[in-house]
Amino acid sequence: MSAGSIKQGALSKGVLVLVYAFLYIPIITLVVFSFNESKLVTLWSGFSLKWYYAVLHDKEIINGFWLSLKVAFFTATASVVLGTFAAVALTRYKRFAGRTMFSGMVSAPLVMPEVIVGLSLLLTMVTIQKWLGYPERGMMTIWMGHTLLGMAYATVVIQSRLTEMDKSLEEAAMDLGSKPLQVFGLITLPLIAQSLMSAWLLTFTLSLDDVVLSMFLSGPGSTTLPIVIFSRARLGLNPEVNAVAAVTIAAVSAFVIFGSIYMARAEKKKQREISAAFREANQ
C-alpha cells in the first residue's frame, strides 16, 4: 500500500464518517429525547415513556395517522398501476403522438416545487367542483394530488428496471405462442415485480410524509398526520412529536435493514448457484 493510497483511505473514511454523522445526529437526538422526562428538549431529566402514552391518547395524532395511512395505501397502489402503464408506454413504444410531452409530464412532478403543484391542483378542484359539484376537498383530493407525485417516482423506478430487462425474453414468449397480454402477465410482470414493490414502498413513504400538497388539498376533517405535526412544530417544540418520530424511525429502520439483509442473502445465494453451475460444467 503506497503512502498515497493510505492517505486516500484515511480521507475516504473521514469524509464518510463525517457525512453519516451529519445525517444521523438529528435522528438520534429525536429518538433520545423522546424518552426525556421533562418537556424541555434540551435538559435531560430522566427516562420516561410518558410522551408515548400521551401520543396514544392524542386524538388528533391518532386520527391523522389513520387518515395518512389510508391515503398512502391508495396512493401507492394507484401510483404503481399508473406508473407501470407509463413505464411500459415509454420503454416499449418508441413512437407515438405527443411522446415528448408525455415524457415531460411524467417526470416534471419529480422536481416541481410542491407549492406550484398544490396551488394548480387546488384551483382545478375548485373549478371542477363549480361545474360538477364534486369533488369535495378531502381525502379524495389529497389522494389525487399524492398520486400525481407518486406516479412520477413510480415511473422512474419501473422504467429503469424495464429498460434493463432483456427485450428478447418478451420476443421469445411471443415466438412461443403468447399473445401480448399473456406476455406481460407471465413474463414481464414477474421479472419487474421487485421494482414494483420498491415503487410501492417509495410512493407509500412519500405520501405518508407529504406536507405541502396535503395542506393545499385537504378539507375540513381531513387532517393528515404531517399536517398535525407541522402545525405543532410551527408553534414550538413538542416531545409528543419526538415520540411519533421515534416510532416512525424504528419502523422504517426495521423495514429497510431487514429488507436489505434479505435482498443481500438472496443475491448471494444466486451467485453461489451460478458458480456451482460453472464449476460443474468445467469438470
- For the segment 96-135, give every residue that binds other proteins (CB under 8 A): 96, 98, 102-117, 119-121, 123-124, 127
The identity of residue 86, as a single letter, is A
Which member of 21, 27, 197, 266 binds other proteins (CB under 8 A)?
27
What minimum distance in Å lies between the beta carbon of 86 and other proteins?
4
64 with 222: CB under 8 angstroms?
A: no
71 with 259: CB under 8 angstroms?
A: no
Site for other proteins in 213-242 (CB under 8 A): 226, 229-230, 233-234, 237, 241
Interatomic CA distance for residues 273 and 90, integer angstroms: 34
93 binds other proteins (CB under 8 A): yes
Q: In this structure, what C-alpha cell is assigned to residue 24?
A: 444521523
Angle at CA 77, nearest 5°, toward 75 and 81?
A: 115
159 binds other proteins (CB under 8 A): yes
Sign of the four-CA dihedral 98, 100, 91, 208: negative
Bridge partners, residue 36, by sequence: 47
Which member of 19, 56, 197, 266 binds other proteins (CB under 8 A)?
19
Q: Grid coordinates 473514511 are at which residue?
A: 13
Site for other proteins in 69-88 (CB under 8 A): 82-83, 85-86, 88
Span interacting with other proteins, options 48-56, 57-65, 131-139, 206-214, rule CB under 8 A: 206-214
Span interacting with other proteins, options 3-11, 49-57, 59-67, 69-77, rule CB under 8 A: 3-11
What minimum distance in Å lies between the beta carbon of 104 and other proteins?
5
Span interacting with other proteins, options 10-18, 54-62, 69-77, 131-139, rule CB under 8 A: 10-18
45 binds other proteins (CB under 8 A): no
Closest by CA position to 159, among listed 197, 203, 109, 196? 196
Q: In this structure, what C-alpha cell is assigned to residue 278?
A: 460453472
